[in-house]
Amino acid sequence: MSIPEEKRNNDSDKAPGIEGANVPGSIGKLIPVYVMGKRYEVPETLTIMKAMEYAGFKFIRGCGCRGGICGACATVYRKAGDYRLRVGLACQTVVEPNMYLTQIPFYPANRATCDFSELTSNPEEIFKLYPELFRCIACNLCTKACPMDVEVMDYISALKQGNITKAAELSFNCIQCGLCASRCMGELPQYHIAQLARRIYGSKIVPRAEHLSEATAASTGGRYEAYLEALMKMGEEELRKVYQEREMEPEIAAEDWVPNDNRYL
């Protein structure tokens, strides 16, 4: 896409960023990036995702929430002159000059199938489903690859030690982007194993909230039936009145605040 001369901001002594972008009609300073090996000039204020769209790419895959939480836009890139591989989410990472980048929309990591209802909290079952768990050599490349700063190697280690709870807690922020598996020397599908661990944790280990079950039972048992019946029978005027006169917990209420009408507590 070519940019008309008058719209280019060629003042290189101006700081990059918002200033240039706020100039009406200007799109800010352009920097080169390489997408799958081909060079493009894109505004320096854009994220990778926006910069690729600026360059003319249309996302039909590898684009999700655009908010940094779905894991669809996992990107691997290098900076010129540096051997280090870097990772990030395209929707969150701002472009830099001479970025070499490519997206990893999907990584073919092994995903074991099982009948979840038959699983227990015995870690041996995870070991059977994912025996490659023990191929981990603690190289830590997975942790380095994670865009969400999850301690991947540590949760794998915890699982090897049979500690499903710890693995579930450590892997909480995982967005299933697959970058960890893409770098793993032992070919583990870390994020799939962690997901299984979290599911087992939530389903078989975490204690049930008793009061929730009680309240649900009370509710389905018909505790509020009479009140709901009464409301259904009211006319519009009466309903409006009841609604406007309803009791609401004040914004700043004492801890032990209770409503006056305590019939349905």
> Among 102, 110, 120, 161, which residue interacts with other proteins (rule: CB under 8 A)?
161
Stretch that binds other proteins, among 47-55, 95-103, 135-143, 171-179 (CB under 8 A): 135-143
Q: Which of 99, 101, 136, 168 binds other proteins (CB under 8 A)?
A: 136
The torsion angles phi and psi of 33, rounded to 5 degrees, stand at -135, 160
Taking contact as CB under 8 A, which single stretch among the options 28-36, 61-69, 96-104, 149-157 is the one that binds other proteins?
A: 149-157
The interface with other proteins within residues 2-31 (CB under 8 A) comprises none
Distance CA 48, CA 208 (A): 43
Instruction: Provide, rounded to whole angstroms, the least separation between the CB of residue 110 and other proteins.
Output: 20
Among the listed ranges 11-19, 70-78, 100-108, 132-140, the one in contact with other proteins (CB under 8 A) is 132-140
Q: Does 154 bind other proteins (CB under 8 A)?
A: yes
* Using rule CB under 8 A, residue 162 touches other proteins: yes
Please identify, among the stretches 90-98, 131-139, 204-212, 256-264, the one whose residues bind other proteins according to the rule CB under 8 A: 131-139
Structure tokens at 262: 């305590």
Judged by CB under 8 A, the residue of 65, 137, 205, 228 near other proteins is 137
State which amino acid sits at residue 7: K
Does residue 185 sit in helix, strand or coil? coil
- Whether residue 43 contacts residue 61, with contact meaning beta carbons closer than 8 Å, is answered with no
Phi then psi for residue 42, to 5 deg, are: -135, 155
Q: Are 206 and 197 in contact (CB under 8 A)?
A: no
The residue within the footprint of other proteins, chosen from 123, 147, 178, 189 (CB under 8 A), is: 123
R_g over Cα of the chain: 27
Dump the DSSP string for 31-75: EEEEETTEEEEEETTSBHHHHHHHTT---SSS---SSS-S-TTEE
The answer to whether 156 touches 135, Cβ cutoff 8 Å, is no
Taking the complex as a whole, how short is the minimal distance between the CB of residue 161 and other proteins, in angstroms? 4
Query: Could you say whether residue 165 binds other proteins (CB under 8 A)?
Result: no
Site for other proteins, rule CB under 8 A: 123, 134, 136-140, 143-144, 153-154, 157, 160-163, 185
